[in-house]
Chains A and B, each alone.
Chain A
């Protein structure tokens, strides 16, 4: 077991990438320590024992993301790289291997969280102002790290451990982890958790139930300290007793249950790769076999053949995207993110009655958020699709065919279809919210704005992306240039580089929808500018 832990940890701690990731985590922690404000009540300091506990609880949600990234690489490594037969043919006992793997996973996740937390603590230490108590308070940080961070770490790691070992599938692991996070936030919303904006006060019985079952322990932390005075909140640690203690012990029992279940479900063999039914799907008929022997294919290198090749490249890209982890995860996160934004705006409207779940409201939210996310999303997607053949080694087969020159157009078409797919999904989400809130007055002009101000510039950007990937000699240099280009052309930064507004054809739309005037004169002028951009980009493509 010790050997497994040592080997796993060495692989991670010895790499420069881990050092870089550690620096980024520390930086993120430092930033949140310096800037993160959380007012629990008047007169309670930001670095009081109580507030640090709440913030630690908040930060501990990041454990899930840290564990997903680390677990995706570590937990099913043996099966991903066909190393399992070698490992499990050694005298190593299965139980020792599993415990070793779980502990190394836990150590890695908690170490990463510790680096983030260290940055957070230092950030608070360097912070000045009335909201901060001066001094060094190590115990105030160490205690919540243990009772919230470490316990939540054990829970998250054991849950993901179970998912990974029972499915041996990265996609299931990531989706399961994200669903846990999304499910948790949805439960918080609908249980009126004090965590959430605009929550109504909870009933005493609801508070108790939430305190007992909250897997991340925040509700029990609130419950245990609900009668604390301002003075106590500034000086006293929330005791490890009562409902808080019960909740933490329940979390430990649950985690142990996850670990034991994963031991029971685990088999060292590989994952099931194909079904017996699928095997026979393409069984050749005897008469087909004989007729094909006598037929010689006539190749077609005409324009029609080229179109067919473009379609084939696109189909391969879309099959890959549809089966890969990236598409479902990105769809889930995108819908969740926009859903939370739309929900927040509509809930905000409850106190301001003129704000209904109108088409204008939801499309405005999508317009404000989707474009920049899309620039990054499609920057990655286009790069991944373009270089997939090269990185997998399939290019030696593809590039010796006569019609392989059509690949650029094929990849472009695939990205275009995905942009339309994501745009369509977001519009459907908007429609769903309108129906769910009983406001079925659809203004398609507002939804059309998403196509005009987000989808069309993203389509134009996709052409630029393919051109960049075509010109640059390596995957990572092309990715870097793609993202920088997106930031420079798509964000307000573009104003610094380009004086002429016509050239800023990829700049994020900054106008607003009005129920009276729609997008007004912005729409036609934006469209004219896009036509100019389109002609410019197409001339580069042809050249």
Chain B
């Protein structure tokens, strides 16, 4: 998939996507960015739910902005927010969507749906109305429907939001397995998930592409530049102007300050950089 100069400007003038260009190849591609960065807007545009103001998106050399049906033939989409039809159970809704995706054989359809329900650990709830599901169950239902029909391009927006650790691992396992044979575009706030799952990633901020690359390579650029020390709980600013605080967090109830600096600030210890450090440095324009 080649995204070339894509822009999306809403009628109120907000630039949701600003001249974005990106190449996405087979595997899981992670999208990171703060709220309002343009991740969901980008995804909605790629799946054909909204038209961009300008730019081109080529999927297997076909412009899917002009021909959205081309991507719909092989698309699986889990949006960040979605509703379900009241009064219909999980199996009925999945069957409806399977038919709309062109899965023709009834007995196979049933087998395929049951397989996916099993994969997302909902097989015991197949006949339960989906609107009665908890947030985590609904999310797993969303993933099951995205995987219907064995799609080659899968877009998942916050797939593990609201899931417990066990379910999160299960979903990550599924994504990892399917990501080996097709394109999976994953948007999440969980930096750790991107680090564990994605071969390539991009950071978006205010509708613009900040940086793209492999998580491991990106982290390498921070080696020797991340420092930390315990801090008083009300300590907000670091007086040393040669370093910039990138985050303040808590470890075992103790407050810690992490800074980015070329040289060691007084009282700080060198830290092994993480993708989260890179993310903060990136959105604070430190790299």
Q: Which residues of A contact B (CB under 8 A)?
A: 273-274, 278-284, 288-289, 291-293, 295-301, 304-305, 308-309, 311-313, 315-316, 319-320, 323-324, 388-389, 392-394, 396-404, 406
Contact = CB atoms under 8 A, between A and B. Distances in A.
Given A392-B84, A399-B49, A301 B128 contact: no
Contacts of B126: 279, 281-282
21 contacts: A273-B132, A274-B127, A274-B132, A283-B124, A284-B114, A284-B115, A289-B115, A296-B150, A297-B150, A299-B104, A308-B104, A312-B96, A312-B99, A324-B86, A388-B86, A392-B86, A400-B47, A400-B48, A400-B72, A402-B69, A404-B100
A269 to B, nearest CB: 14
B100 A312 contact: yes
Interface string B81-111: 1111111100111011111111110001101
A406 B96 CA distance: 12
A394 B82 contact: yes
Contact of A300 (B83, B91, B104): B104
B104 A282 contact: no
A284 to B, nearest CB: 4
Given A393-B83, A403-B102, 6 more contacts: A274-B128, A279-B128, A316-B88, A319-B92, A400-B77, A401-B75
Contacts of A319: 87-88, 92
Contact of B123 (A283, A389, A394): A283
Nearest to A389: B85
A324 B102 contact: no
Nearest to A297: B103
B79 A396 contact: yes
B112 interface: yes
B27 interface: no
B73 interface: yes
B56 to A, nearest CB: 20
A288 B82 contact: no
Contacts of B276: none
Nearest to B106: A308
Nearest to B79: A396
Given A281-B127, A300-B104, A401-B100, A393 B114 contact: no
A293 B49 contact: no
Contacts of B149: 297, 299
A305 B117 contact: no
Contacts of A282: 91, 114, 117, 123, 126-127
Nearest to A315: B96
Interface residues of B, number: 50
Contacts of B97: 397-398, 401
> B81, B104, B112 — which one has the most chain A CB atoms within 10 A of its CB?
B104
B49 A396 contact: yes
Contact of A293 (B85, B104, B115): B115
B118 interface: yes
B187 interface: no
Contacts of A389: 85
Interface string B217-237: 000000000000000000000
B78 to A, nearest CB: 9
A301 to B, nearest CB: 5
A403 B99 contact: yes
B85 A292 contact: no
B87 to A, nearest CB: 4
Contact of A297 (B77, B95, B108): B108
A531 to B, nearest CB: 33
Contacts of B170: none
Contacts of A400: 47-49, 72, 75, 77
A66 to B, nearest CB: 26
A404 B103 CA distance: 13
A292 B149 CA distance: 12
A401 B98 CA distance: 9
A499 to B, nearest CB: 43
B150 A280 contact: no
A181 to B, nearest CB: 26
Contacts of A273: 128-129, 132
